[in-house]
Structure 1
């Protein structure tokens, strides 16, 4: 009798978990160790992103990087969003200044988002004592709060999650698909972007 090969499907799921874990490990390593190798660029000026001002400013008079150095990393724009669980409490990216931050933009209907959440939770549990912040941002403009909260409860997600009702982060991070993870250095620069 022909049917579904569950054994093969199980291997595929483990393969996905291993790939996500490897990507998170590589990105986490670059966040932790990159600031020790890269000097901050002169003249970088962060701005607070709003719906009216979605841009990053840099001083045009800053020196051009020497050919044997890496180009300056872009500064992550600051934003302020309400907590998903307690909407009376707002969070800003600058609240976590001096700490490496993984920002994960997600929606409850997004299967790849759901697949990577357990790996993000495991990384959070393993490295939060080292100062790592994982900040989930539900794309509430495209989702519902009830569905998002149900997903967090079902997967037992404990890292902080925010709600983006107006699509602010979709604009400032130029989101073209979900999930989107951004790896921000302790200096507030975007070191890596993973779709």
Structure 2
């Protein structure tokens, strides 16, 4: 059966064998999607909505290890994450350096794809905070499930802070917008991390 999705790393490396060029080209992802969809707006919309959902959910859950081998895109446009070994802000380090320094992954090549669309569905940005107490209750119920990074009540503080519980809807939206701006501003840092990941993988690290 033909593969219906590819990792970001694979998409980039198939466009160039040079790690730097592969990681920093903003057109690679859009060209890949257009190659399977002939410029179909539906694929762009699918990417836009799934990317927005991914940004919000990965921020609230504090998903770590967000390298280019753990983020995949379906040929029809949906973006998704495949490794949930590190959550609630337990981000990995390499040589004592924190590898992930952004609240969520939002790179300029993602934005480049999104900008091709006619509309942007913004409802996703307010959905989770409106249902914050329900999500915290669900986290509390999972305390006995045996997850190594969710063992005590203090571990639930991370999603509480991410959801801005106790703040007004306006304050919560302002907090998330600040995180959005930070993720986009530090896009180059994400790209450097991805490039280093690719190089180290090639050397068997």
| TM-score, length-scaled by structure 1 | 0.24
By percentage of residues, which structure has more strand? 1
By percentage of residues, which structure has more helix? 2
